[in-house]
Amino acid sequence: MSVKIRLKRFGTKKRPYYRIVVMDSRAPRDGRTLDEVGLYHPIENADRQLRLDEEKIKGWISKGAQPTDTVRKLLNSREIRIER
């Protein structure tokens, strides 16, 4: 089973927010998750835009979970470095 750290979309039309979740890579975007590790609100102010549980993220990465490109950029913005 390939595990990804990716975004799961919520909100209304033109007012999205996303949960950063750990999922099986074959599951649909809004399907069942294994764990929730953060929130991303692209519309909010910069200080409230991104919330992460760094311990959970590092734990899942150590188990082999791979972040998507978008999630990798968000993690890098918070100085959480992940090698490819």
* pTM assigned to the model: 0.87
Can you give 27-39 as a three-state secondary structure string?
CCCCCCCCEEEEE
Q: pLDDT tens digits, residue range 16-64?
A: 999 999 999 898 888 899 999 999 999 888 778 999 999 999 999 999 9
Residue 31: per-residue pLDDT: 86
Domains and CATH numbers, the chain: 3-77 (3.30.1320.10)
Q: What is the CA radius of gyration of the chain?
A: 12
Residue 73: per-residue pLDDT: 92
pLDDT interval class at 1 (50, 70, 90): low
